[in-house]
Every structure is written in C-alpha cells, then in structure tokens.
Structure 1
Amino acid sequence: MLIPILFITSRYSTNNCFICGFIYGIAVCILYAFWLLNYKAIALLFVALYEGILYGIVFLILQKSFNFFKNNNCIIQCLIWCSFEYFRTLGFLGVNYGVIGYSQWNNPILLQSAALFGVHGINFVILFPSCFFFSLIKYKGNKISFIKKNKFYIIGYSSVFIALLVYGSVQLKSTVKTDTEKTICLIQNNIDTSIYYKDKNNGILDFYKQIISDALQKNENIDLIVFPEGAVRPRILLNPEDSIPSDMYQDVIDYLQFFYDINIPIVFGSTSLEYDSTRNGIFTYKAYNISCYLNNKTKTIPANIDVYKKRHLVPIIEKIPFVNFYNQKFFKFSNSLSSGKEIVTFPLQDISFCTPICFEESFGYEVRCFMKKKTNFILSISSDFWSKSLVCQYQHFAMEVFRAVENRVPFLRSSVSGQTVYIDQKGKCLKMLKPFCSNFLICNVSLELTPKYSIYTKIGDSIGILYFLICIICVAYKYINKIKKKDVI
C-alpha cells in the first residue's frame, strides 16, 4: 500500500508532495465513502476536501523524513503513517473509514491481537513490510548487504509477527467461559424513518405488531427485543418535560400500549426534545438521538423509560460545530442535534449491556468507555438505510468485528437495513440477516456474569500515542546530534 506513496514523497518537491497527497486523499475518500452521494453530495465533498488536506500534510511529513533521516527511515516512515491513522480517528471530525487495520476483519488469527492493541496495533503489522521493501528497492548498493545491515528489523518484525500468529491460534482454540445465556431478538425493519411523519394510520406500528408476533411464535422465551436506530416514531417519551403535539399524542399512546402488552424488556431508537433556554429572546430546545430501554416492570404514563443520548454525532450530518441547540437555519444541512454527556448502561436481569448508536460503534475508544462499567455485551442500534449501499453496511460490520474482539464480549447489532448480526467474543459472525429485507434474528447469547477486562479495554489506543512519541523522540535525538556536530566543527 505505501510503496507508491513512498516513491512519490522521496522524489517530489515539497509543494508537489502536498498536491499529490491532497489528490490522493480525495481519491481515497471518494472510493471508500462514495455512498455519501446517496445522502448529500455536499457531505462527500466536505469529507473529501478534509481528507485531502490531512493526506497532503502526511505526504509532506514523509517527504521531510527522507531528508532528516538518512538511515533507519523505514521504521520512522511506518510510525509516521501509523500515527497519522491514529490521529485522523480523533475529535469531532475523526473517521475510521480507510484505516488499513480493518482490512484484517476476516483474518481470524491476526484479528485476535486486537484484544491486545486494537486496530492500530494491527496497522503496524500490516504497514511495516511496505516501508521495508521500499527501502530495499530504493537501496542503490548490493541488496544482500542491505538485508544484512537491517537484519535487526527483519528478526524483530518476524518475531513479533510469529508471536501474534501463535497468540491468535491459541485464542481461537481456547474455550470461552460462559455463566448464563440470554435470548435476544433483533429487529431489522427496513423502513425509511422519514415516512413516520406521513404515516397517519400507524401502518408501521401494525407491521411491528406482526413481526413481533412471528418472533414470539418461533421462540416465546425471549429475554430482550431490540428495534434499530430511529425505529419508533419520534418523541415517544412521555416525560413531564417532553411536550407531545396533539396530532401525535394518540399514536404515542398506541406505541406504549403495544410495548406494555408484549411484557418483555425492549430497546428501541428514537429522538427526544428537551427545552433548553432563551437565546436572544427566542425559546429553543435541544434534540437528541437516543436509545431507550423500557423494562416493562412499571407500566405508567408518563412512561418509565431509561435513556442513553448519543455522544459522538456524525460531523456536519448530525452536528454543526459550536451549535448545541436545534436551529431551523441548519436543518437543510444538518439535523442540528446535541451531544449526550453521560455513559449509560442498562440492566437486564443479572447482567448489563450498553447501546452505542450507529457511528459510535466505529470508534474503539468510544465503545471502551462503556466497557469500563463492566458491560456484559455490546448492543448497537444503527441505520445505514439512507446510504442504500451494501459496501457501507459491510464497512460498519468490519469495525463491529473489531469491537467484539477488542473487549472480548459479544457484539449484537440491530440495523434498519443491515447488517443485523451476532458476533461472538472471538470476532466470528454467528448469525446475520439478509440485508435490505424486513425480518427478525433470534440469538442465544452466551455470556460471562463477570467479564474480564482485555488488555485493550485497560489501555485503549495507547499504542497510537506510543507511535507518535517514538517519532518525536527520534526527531529530537537527530536534531540534538546535528547541533553537536556543528559545535564540533
């Protein structure tokens, strides 16, 4: 992957390197996120320009590394790229699409090392050979002598790679200790949520009644029913501070009555409004993308619903920077949602689970925050329906496989159009619904009552910071040596 990039950055001038990186970043972004066109062309344009700038900068840094490091530049260049891939996942504009480590989602042996260092640990394993072989190709002397000079790298990398393969093989053969089993029903409704406002006859609710009836006929001992992101008519909450328009009031009552009649704990995605404050004389409110947990123990109106508010919103699409309240001015470009602040887990009998919402599942450090509350399994509610792309849905699926292995707990996902899946602690997909259809998936999930922290759960993406620190130390060491040589002269 990196060999063509290293050829460019080793030969071109500073300005040309940035231009090449900018073009490369735009091209890569369009290839991996072409499905954004099905949402808004401006969203793809914005992301492509942003990625172009990031890649332009890293091309510049690589170009400088050739001049600054005459020797050992293969390891430095690999660390530079690994640091880049780590930093581009952070912050408001962070994205995980295009991170090379995710290419190993279907490599079960190497995948197991994600429990140690996450996807960024695998990045180094994948990328170092590119940098080494480029240095070998570029070396003008005898190739054998180059290999002898760099035998430390060959031996070191080979030892690490073999150790990871052995670790992965042992983990795959080991038996997962389980103490309990829960039967969970995942709903895939395959419905465009934008029609909720046009659904005057509650036809969607009738569909839900039928699909739950079919599921209960197949297995009447279901412990939890899960509807995907945005599956329930907006503003289902009937808390005192949440005002419901009169034309929606009866519909909300009908939904709650349906949920109460099932008499099984339910998770569903919805939205909520909370009145905020008076800003310049205009009464405003905050809107949230939420997952709701109705345990059906207390059947009251207002409903007794536990709520998790999505914390990591999709930039521009769900959230405008510095805007933390719903504003009609931005609605054409963004949903103008507010970010939740609290990490929330939900109890289910003798265990607990968390519900990262869609985009959040792509971030290892976000899911890890839930795991530190001793969560027994991860349950994501999502919607990629708007993308109309199987590629998009599989990109998210690949990331979910990593989240399961990183934290050594099962990962379940209820998605509007797919991929609705059950992934075990070792990253194996045990069940998956056919995409773009309406159906349900019943999973018998084996769980530990007291899950143990994996190394990744304990240290997170610290290896990404380590890559960066090593680069800084090498630069400082090289710079100090240059100053000393000048003083000697």
Structure 2
Amino acid sequence: MKNKKNDSKNLKGLFQKIFLVIISALLFWLSNPNVFFENGLGWLGWFNYFPIFYLIKKSRLSESTIFGAIFGVLAYGLYGYWLKAFHPLGLIIVCIGYLVICSLLFTVLKIADLVCKKNGWLLQFICVCGYEYIKTLGFFGISYGVTAYTQWNFLYLIQICAIIGVFGLNLIVIFPSAFLFSFITKTIQRKRLLEHVDHARKSHISAYVKKEQALAINSLQLTYVCGILWIILFSASLCYGYSVMRKPEPEKHVTVAAIQNNESPWKNGIEEYSKNVKNLIQLTEEAQYLSTDIDFIIWPETAVAPSIIYNYDYGTDVRRFMLISQLLNFLDENNAVFVIGNSHEVEMKGAEKEHYNSALVFESGKNVHPPEPGIYSKIKLVPFTESFPWKHTFSSLYVKLLNGSPHMWEKGEEYTVFNYRGLKFSTPICFEDTFSTICRQMVLNGSRCFFNLSNDSWSNSIPCQRQHLAMAVFRSVENHVPSVRSTASGVTCIISQNGKIVKAAPEFCEAYIIGEIPVMSENEQTFFTKTGDIAGKAEAGLAMLILIIQTIVVIINKLTNR
C-alpha cells in the first residue's frame, strides 16, 4: 500500500513538472511576436522564468537536465517555427542546438540551487541574465529570444538601454520572475516553520527550528530589499525614458523612401531578375511622383540579384549586361542617392569568384557610369544558411544547407560609414541589426543613421518579421539614432531615435514609405555606444565567479565534515 502511494505521489510530481515545462515554453513563445499575437504579449515576459525557477527547485539534478532539453525544443520550436519554410533542417538544427543549450542552463540553475540553498534564487537570476548574453556570442550566437526584446513597444522603459543596453534591461525584466518565486517559496517556508514552533518547543530540536526560522526570516527580508531596489530602478528607468521622449528633435532632416517589392526569394533566372528590377523602378517612380525632394531611396537586401559591378565589367551574359545597363541609366538620371542590396561578386585571380551580400550606394553624376559605388559587405553571416565553415569536412550536410543556392557568402571586413548629403549612415544587412555589437561599432565609426536592408520573405511569416523588427527597435534606442528598414516583404518602416515606429508598410505586399529622419549630431554618443554590453559581460562574469566560489565552499565543507 505504501509503495502504491509513493508511486502515485511520484507520478503526480512528474506530471506537475512536465506541466511547468509546458507553461514555461508557452510563456516564452507568447511573450514574443507569434501566430496569435503579432506583436507578442510583452507583459508575459516579466514572468517567463517563474515556472522554470519553481521547476528547478522541485527537480533533481538529472531531471533538471532532461527538463531543460525538453524546454529548449518546445520553446524554440514554437518560437522559430518559420525556419521550416527555408528548410526543415534549419528548424531541426535550432531545436537540437537549444536542446543542448537549455539542458546545460537548467543544470547550472540546479547547481546554483544546491550550492546556495538559502538565497540560490539570486544566483539563478544572475545566471539566467548571463546565459542570455552568452547565447548571442560566437558563430552559433543569435539574439532571437532575449527576454528584454519582448518590451519593444514599452517605449518609456526601453530608453534606459541608451545607458545599460538590452542586457541591462534584462535585469529589470527577468527579476520579477525570480522575486515572485522567492517571495512565494520563502513565505510558505516561513509559515510552515511557524506552525512547527510549538511542537518543536516540546522536543530537543527547538533550537534547530528557531535557527531555521531566523534564517527564513532573514532570507525573506533580503527578498524584500531586492524588491525595493528593483522598484527604485524600474521607476528611475521610467523617469529617464519620459525625459528622453520629451527632448526636441534636431532641426535638420533628410527625406527617405524605403521600397518593399514583395519578391519571392526562391525564383531565379534572368526573366525573374528583370521583372524584379522593373518592379523596383516602378515603385520608386511612384514614390518620387508623390514627393519630388527625396534624398535617399533604399531597396531591400539582394533586391538586384545579378552582381552590378561584375556583370558590367566582366560579364559575358548579354541579357544580364543589358539589365545592369538599364538599371544604371535609371540611377544616373535620378537625383536621389540610391542604397541597393546586391549579390556582389569579386573576380579573383587563379580562383573562383567571391560572393558577398552587399549594399551598394550610388549617386548620379558621381559613381554610376562606370559603376564605382560605395560598398558595404555583410559581416555577421547567418550560421548554416549564409555561412558554414566546415563545408569540406561535412560536405553532404553543406549541400543540403545550400537548399538550391549555388554558394554561401564570404564575410565582409569593414564597418563602412557612408557620407552623402550631410548624412552619415551605415547599412546593416538583414539580421545584423539584431546584434548590438554590430550597430554600435558602426556608430563608433561615425554613423548617425541605420539603413537596414532585409529579406525575411522566405519565412512566409509575419511573426518572424515582427521578431526581427522588435530587435531592430533596440538598435536605434541604444545608440539614439534613427533607422530606416527596406525589406522585401516586411516590416518596411522608419524608426525614430527613440524606437518609435514612425511609419510602416503592411507586410507581404508591394509598397513604399516616404518620411523624414533627423540628422543627429556627430558630437553625441550614448553611454551604451561608448561602453558596449558591459551589463551582459558583468552578468556572465559575476554568475560564473559566484558559482565557482560557492561550489568550492560546498566541496570544502563536505571534505572537512567527513
């Protein structure tokens, strides 16, 4: 009978833990842009980790590892479902990657709970913040899924990122999960200890119970103190955001037009390329008909597929040469500065051509005939879809990852800053504007505006495009510079230096937007621009340091008590 009760209790506990894993994954998914809520339910982001902290407390070390693996697959499978549109293998790779990453995270969180029993929640909180920074680093690093990005519509709060960056904001957004977990568990613990005080007084363990009660009270008081500090920081952030949002804009402006051609990324061939260029020219002419004083016209990532310079200088395909000539004639007859996404090819002596995902900048009468545009080539390439460093070692996997494309891209080397018509700007390409380090370096080099060229149309997913937009908003806020996004299918928009979406085109249609952006002072740089992601580095470093010290202390205590 006793065994049956134990089995029933264990089974109930297992179901509770699985339920917590599912709830955690759903909170993560729904707090970000998703298929049900295009902008995401950002307020859920404040509680993303609460079920995880509770799950870790109730689980053994081995269980924590397993539940972490399950969470990684569920959370990122739901969040990044759109990867299957590129290739099912892409979604599988991400799910496997986060199966490993989250199993390690949950293991570390359990170790933190074991080595720091009374106030392990604080160490776990720092570990989570450190993890979200570390996961964006290196070849496999991606910024998708960072908790603070769920707050992209909370403009007054996110202005603090100009000081502490998105990983500093993580401290504010993730803390409520940790505080709520600590407050509930320690309040319950204290209540249980109080209930046993009378019983303990009649036994020989009264001193032990009183000691435990005192520790519980002290621990709860620490939770209150941390909660008060959070309220002060949160309030100060809102006050700072309010003051920033009320600042007047610079007087000098330039007019921009961002084109959205809604082209399919899967159609190739000269007929399709010619159709796309003709469509881009037509949309541009429509925009210029409405506004004759446009300074900059921006076309999306790889809007012109054939390499403009290579086909003009070395090309042997007559039809491609004629298409490029037609395009250059249009540019040379136009008064605006054009920023064009292009599959740029470079002729190499004694080797194959090198292919770059580039932005080319043209101005009539200066660099159109022959084409000698300013060039920026994408530096941060998408792992597995644009870059795969082990193509010779894993050749069969490399062929599958190409997904019909003839090549992947070479990596650019310079954070180029362009200077046209009094505006210094940079052109982060596609998901480069999801990385604070990339955009910050461009601003350090002198840029005062981002012209982002993107193509997320392959995803066939509005949530994918909104997730991308959410991160782009933070690049403007962190560096206090405006952004203009020209995308193949969305979200084409103008973002103010405060992260406000000033104008936006609807997704998955041919469209364009016209608007003004301020020319920001060259003498102003935000604290974040000057210092970078010091918050993320500090979180990761502090978490590792405390975890190592606490582990060593526990080991020494066990050895000395033998």
**What band does the TM-score fall into relative to the shorter chain?**
over 0.9
Instruction: Letter of the 2:290 partner, please give it.
Output: K
Mark the runs of 5 or more structure 1 residues left unpaired by the alignment: none
Q: Matches of 2:516 and 2:454 in 1, distance apart?
A: 21
**Match in the other structure for 1:28:** 75
User: How much has 1:264 moved relative to structure 2?
Assistant: 2.0
User: How much has 1:320 moved relative to structure 2?
Assistant: 0.9
Q: 1:446 to 1:270 in 2, by over 3 A?
A: same
**Match in the other structure for 2:191:** 142
**Match in the other structure for 1:471:** 543
Pick from 16, 24, 47 the counterpart of residue 63 of structure 2. 16
Q: Matches of 1:37 and 1:73 in 2, distance apart?
A: 39
> Number of matched residues?
482
Q: Matches of 1:241 and 1:19 in 2, distance apart?
A: 57
| Residues 255-289 of structure 1, C-alpha deviations (whole Å, 9 max, x = no match) | 111111223210000112224465xxxx4232111
Pick from 279, 296, 307 the counterpart of residue 224 of structure 1. 296
Structure 2 contact 129–539 (Cα < 8 Å) conserved: yes
Q: 1:399 is paired with a residue of what secondary structure?
A: helix
Q: 1:244 to 1:358 in 2, by over 3 A?
A: farther
Q: Matches of 1:476 and 1:333 in 2, distance apart?
A: 39
**Match in the other structure for 1:37:** 84
Aligned pairs for 1:344-363 within 5 A:
344-363=416-435
| Residues 11-70 of structure 1, C-alpha deviations (whole Å, 9 max, x = no match) | 322222111111100111111111111111000000111011100000000011111002
Aligned pairs for 1:223-262 within 5 A:
223-238=295-310, 243=315, 245-262=317-334
**Match in the other structure for 1:296:** 364
**Match in the other structure for 2:458:** 386
User: How much has 1:481 moved relative to structure 2?
Assistant: 4.6
User: Pairwise CA RMSD of aligned residues?
Assistant: 2.4
Q: 1:217 is paired with a residue of what secondary structure?
A: helix
Q: 2:418 is paired with a residue of what secondary structure?
A: strand
Q: TM-score, normalised by structure 1?
A: 0.92
**Match in the other structure for 2:505:** 433
User: How much has 1:349 moved relative to structure 2?
Assistant: 1.6
Structure 2 contact 312–324 (Cα < 8 Å) conserved: no
Q: Matches of 1:316 and 1:399 in 2, distance apart?
A: 21
Mark the runs of 5 or more structure 2 residues left unpaired by the alignment: 1-47, 193-215
Are 2:232 and 1:159 equivalent residues in the alignment?
yes
Q: Matches of 1:371 and 1:200 in 2, distance apart?
A: 37
User: How much has 1:216 moved relative to structure 2?
Assistant: 1.5
Q: 2:267 is paired with a residue of what secondary structure?
A: helix
Q: TM-score, normalised by structure 2?
A: 0.81
User: How much has 1:380 moved relative to structure 2?
Assistant: 0.1
Structure 1 contact 239–303 (Cα < 8 Å) conserved: no
**Match in the other structure for 2:389:** 321
**Match in the other structure for 1:284:** 352
Q: Matches of 2:110 and 2:256 in 1, distance apart?
A: 52
Q: Matches of 1:202 and 1:241 in 2, distance apart?
A: 19
Q: Matches of 1:113 and 1:258 in 2, distance apart?
A: 44
Q: 1:317 to 1:483 in 2, by over 3 A?
A: closer
Which has the larger strand fraction? 1
| Residues 452-479 of structure 1, C-alpha deviations (whole Å, 9 max, x = no match) | 1111111111111101222233235435
**Match in the other structure for 2:159:** 112
Structure 2 contact 265–458 (Cα < 8 Å) conserved: no
Q: Matches of 2:151 and 2:466 in 1, distance apart?
A: 13
The more displaced of 164-173 and 94-103 is 164-173
Q: 2:352 is paired with a residue of what secondary structure?
A: strand
**Match in the other structure for 2:105:** 58
Structure 2 contact 159–241 (Cα < 8 Å) conserved: yes
Q: 1:153 to 1:200 in 2, by over 3 A?
A: closer
User: How much has 1:195 moved relative to structure 2?
Assistant: 3.1
User: How much has 1:329 moved relative to structure 2?
Assistant: 8.9
User: How much has 1:399 moved relative to structure 2?
Assistant: 0.8
Q: 2:408 is paired with a residue of what secondary structure?
A: coil
Q: 1:400 is paired with a residue of what secondary structure?
A: helix
**Match in the other structure for 1:74:** 121
Q: Matches of 2:161 and 2:191 in 1, distance apart?
A: 38
User: How much has 1:152 moved relative to structure 2?
Assistant: 2.5
Instruction: Letter of the 2:154 partner, please give it.
Output: N
Structure 1 contact 179–448 (Cα < 8 Å) conserved: no
Structure 1 contact 330–336 (Cα < 8 Å) conserved: no
Which has the larger helix fraction? 2
Q: 1:150 is paired with a residue of what secondary structure?
A: helix
Q: Matches of 2:559 and 2:308 in 1, distance apart?
A: 73
Indicate the percent of aligned positions where both proteins have the same amino acid: 28
